[in-house]
Amino acid sequence: MQASVKLENLFQKKTCVVVCGASRGLGECISVTFARKFSAGSVFILLSRDGNALGNVKSKINVECPDQVCVTREFDQGNIQQKNFDSVFQEIFHTNSICIAGFEQAVMVHSAGTLGDITKYSKELVDAETVRRNFDVNVTGAILMNSAFLRAFDETSQRVVINISSLAALQPFSSWSLYCSSKAARDMFFRTLAVEDPNIRVLNYAPGPCDTDMGKDCREKTKAPEVKKFFADAFESGKILSCQASIDKLCEVLLTNFESGAHIDYYDKIN
Ligand SMILES: NC(=O)c1ccc[n+]([C@@H]2O[C@H](COP(=O)([O-])OP(=O)(O)OC[C@H]3O[C@@H](n4cnc5c(N)ncnc54)[C@H](OP(=O)(O)O)[C@@H]3O)[C@@H](O)[C@H]2O)c1
């Protein structure tokens, strides 16, 4: 049985927002958009492997939202070593003198993800490292990052977890078996978290096809010709979404009384 959650405007709370995969694409857009929307004095912790790109996102936030605090930390979610996940938040708090007692809310956004090898059909996936790497980034690393976040903010009264999901979590796309299966596993993990703890608001948000590096790879590298053509045609005919359009919809969804653990797509009608 899934828990229903009470309606409240999460943007009005003084919040610590963690975005993993904040350097580019949807994660960058989420970071900047959330910085505009959250209550002044909120803290943004931006993570990804690319420190320079994170620095650029931080600069944007500093210019546009000088009342927010933004810190960055290089982090490879696919490097599955216990110590990386055990210590990441304590290190960030210590290095940046962040006191978590002052937050009314903590929000974790899981945007980091990889398509993996989309140049092969399922039966051609013979390389152990390729298969492992995809699940390390998309599943194992996301789970461990999430647990690290929940432990670090154990005392925070409101916690919200947003998994950037995909239609591919629900529907198979030919030659995307690693991506589809890892996104499906990730959705189910977060659905399970939602039933285990009704005090955590959990959302699996599928952003629709967006104009990002990943979106470009979909239309250029996909092996299955019909899938490649579908995304190339969508791009040519202007049907690919801007990140901003998709993230504006995410913000609308977050203000509804969605069922915790729900999978909500950009194209879904919301109340
Ligand atoms: N674009 C779409 O059409 C679309 C559609 C549905 C769902 N999604 C989902 O949306 C999310 C973001 O995708 P996007 O389109 O914005 O992709 P993107 O432009 O390729 O960006 C991917 C982000 O994930 C980060 N990342 C990748 N591997 C990482 C790792 N090992 N450790 C830490 N961070 C890592 C990247 O940062 P670094 O490279 O700096 O580490 C980057 O910030 C993904 O979860 C994806 O599945 C995208």
Atom 8 in ligand 1: which residue has the minimum CA distance? 166
**33-62, pLDDT tens digit by residue?**
999 999 999 999 999 999 999 999 999 999
User: Do the beta carbons of residue 255 and residue 203 sit within 8 Å?
Assistant: no
Give the chain's mean pLDDT. 96
Chain centre to alpha carbon of residue 164? 4
Percent of the chain with pLDDT over 90: 97
pLDDT for residue 204: 98
Judge whether residue 5 has pLDDT over 60.
no
Residue 6: inside a domain: no
Q: Rounded distance, CA 265 to CA 229, Å?
A: 22
Judge whether residue 198 has pLDDT over 70.
yes
pLDDT for residue 112: 98
Residue 74: inside a domain: yes
Q: Which two tokens stand for residue 263?
A: 């999978």
Contacts of 95 (CB under 8 A, 6+ apart): 71, 73
Of 18, 48, 180, 220, the residue with max ligand 1 atoms within 8 A of its CB, to mutate for a pocket test, comes to 48
Instruction: State the closest ligand 1 atom to the C-alpha of 112, by its place in the atom list counted from 1.
Output: 24
Please state the rounded mean pLDDT for residues 181-194. Answer: 98
Judge whether residue 78 has pLDDT over 50.
yes
Beta bridge partners of 20: 47, 110
Residue 107: inside a domain: yes
Look up the domain containing 78 and give its range. Answer: 13-209+244-265
Task: List, chain by chain if needed, residues with CB within 6 Å of any ligand 1 atom.
Answer: 20-27, 48-50, 53, 75-78, 111-114, 137, 164, 166, 207, 209-210, 212-215
- Count of the separate structural domains present in the chain: 1
User: Residue 251's domain is classified under what CATH number?
Assistant: 3.40.50.720
Instruction: State the closest ligand 1 atom to the C-alpha of 28, by its place in the atom list counted from 1.
Output: 43
Atom 45 in ligand 1: which residue has the minimum CA distance? 113
Residue 170: inside a domain: yes
Percent of the chain with pLDDT over 70: 97
pLDDT for residue 7: 64
Going from the Cα of 102 to the center of ligand 1, the distance in angstroms, rounded, reads: 30
Which ranges of 65-206 does DSSP label H, i.e. alpha helix? 82-95, 128-135, 141-152, 177-196
Residue 86: inside a domain: yes
Please state the rounded mean pLDDT for residues 83-110. Answer: 97
Angle 243-254/25-37 helices, nearest 10 degrees?
A: 50
**114-151, pLDDT tens digit by residue?**
999 999 999 999 999 999 999 999 999 999 999 999 99
Going from the Cα of 248 to the center of ligand 1, the distance in angstroms, rounded, reads: 18
Please state the rounded mean pLDDT for residues 106-113. Answer: 98
**26-38, pLDDT tens digit by residue?**
999 999 999 999 9
Going from the Cα of 139 to the center of ligand 1, the distance in angstroms, rounded, reads: 13
Q: What is the pTM of this model?
A: 0.97
Going from the Cα of 225 to the center of ligand 1, the distance in angstroms, rounded, reads: 23
Atom 7 in ligand 1: which residue has the minimum CA distance? 166
**255-270, pLDDT tens digit by residue?**
999 999 999 999 999 9
